[in-house]
Amino acid sequence: MPRPGRNTYSDQKPPYSYISLTAMAIQSCPEKMLPLSEIYKFIMDRFPYYRENTQRWQNSLRHNLSFNDCFIKIPRRPDQPGKGSFWALHPNCGDMFENGSFLRRRKRFKVGSMQATDPLVPSKPQDAAHYLQQQAKLRLSALHAAAHLPQMPGGYNLSSVSQPSGFKHPFAIENIIAREYKMPGGLAAFSTTGYPLHNQLTPAWPHMYGSGMMDTAAPISMAASDYSAYGMPLKSICHGGQTLPAIPVPIKPTPASVPGLPGLPTHIPAFLANSPQSLSPTSPQTATGQSSPAAPGEALPSSASLQSAVAVH
């Protein structure tokens, strides 16, 4: 396991498998699905190690996408031209890494043999893709609606519409990082002195740092809502932005999920959502819900809000 340097081991290989990296990329996007090129971009933005030998690791990554059932290919629709499909995580693949290691999975995710995590989630890839696309539609509508919701006094407090259960997908960078906090020995320092998330994020995610998305006190603005957590305009991800599939997808529905809208919005990784300070192990990033910052991820409406939002549309 590579040991992070004092401030970074940016040029060393990250302690994540391609599956982890890909899952991170997908999870980091509020739409919970990304085209291959955006997955590449995410990894290269965040991990300088992968800015070299691109052909090698990108081939490996593509191999993983095709080979592993935990990734689902979601075809573009006619109104979203472009090359390649979107890739999403299978809704039931949530606990592959529950052994705490993101280098090696506890077990390989197989569609046929997987545990029925959620009866509402189709197990067949095609059905799952369709399911994800439907969820995406709902999410996009919700995002759109949320962006036009009237401002709450003192600003639109997104935490009030965030997932109440605080569920975090195991693939979320937030969880990956958090897990590493708990790791004894080497990786203990990883998250604090390891990847320079802040340093890398700052230039790479100007919209967050610049628009108040990362500012715990700043209300979410319309401008901010126009941008995904990916640091690029939602419109560009959504290819026109009106109907497109790219909406976040629930990985594991929460008990709070509304029937009919299983597990709707989940979250956005905290590293996208929180200020750099909150990456500290001692930071109260766990205080999600109440004082939770108006993070892009938390910006997703709750299931109930979603329903009404969708209904409005």
**How many CB atoms neighbour CB 83 within 10 A?**
8
Contact flag: residue 240 with DNA (CB under 7 A):
no
C-alpha closest to that of 102 among 24, 14, 11, 15? 15
Contact flag: residue 42 with DNA (CB under 7 A):
no
Nearer to DNA, 59 or 286 (CB): 59
Nearer to DNA, 7 or 99 (CB): 99
Q: Is 168 left (phi over 0), alpha (psi -120 to 50) or beta?
A: beta
**Applying CB under 7 A, which part among 50-58, 142-150, 164-172, 295-303 lies near DNA?**
50-58
Confirm if 18 and 61 have CB atoms less than 8 A apart: yes
Nearer to DNA, 88 or 224 (CB): 88
Q: How far is the CB of 211 from DNA (least distance, A)?
A: 27
Nearer to DNA, 44 or 304 (CB): 44
Nearer to DNA, 1 or 223 (CB): 1
Q: How far is CA 254 from the centre of its chain?
A: 16
Q: How far is CA 113 from the centre of its chain?
A: 25
Q: How far is the CB of 39 from DNA (least distance, A)?
A: 8
Q: How far is the CB of 124 from DNA (least distance, A)?
A: 14
Q: Binder to DNA among 52, 67, 148, 151 (CB under 7 A)?
A: 67
Q: How far is the CB of 44 from DNA (least distance, A)?
A: 12
Q: Binder to DNA among 7, 51, 59, 134 (CB under 7 A)?
A: 59
How many residues touch DNA under the rule CB under 7 A: the total is: 33
**How many CB atoms neighbour CB 98 within 10 A?**
12
Nearer to DNA, 47 or 271 (CB): 47
The interface with DNA within residues 80-139 (CB under 7 A) comprises 81-85, 87, 101, 103-105, 107-108
CA distance 301 to 137: 14
Contact flag: residue 32 with DNA (CB under 7 A):
no
Contact flag: residue 57 with DNA (CB under 7 A):
yes
Residue numbers of the site for DNA (CB under 7 A)? 16-19, 35-37, 40, 53, 56-57, 59-60, 62-68, 73, 81-85, 87, 101, 103-105, 107-108
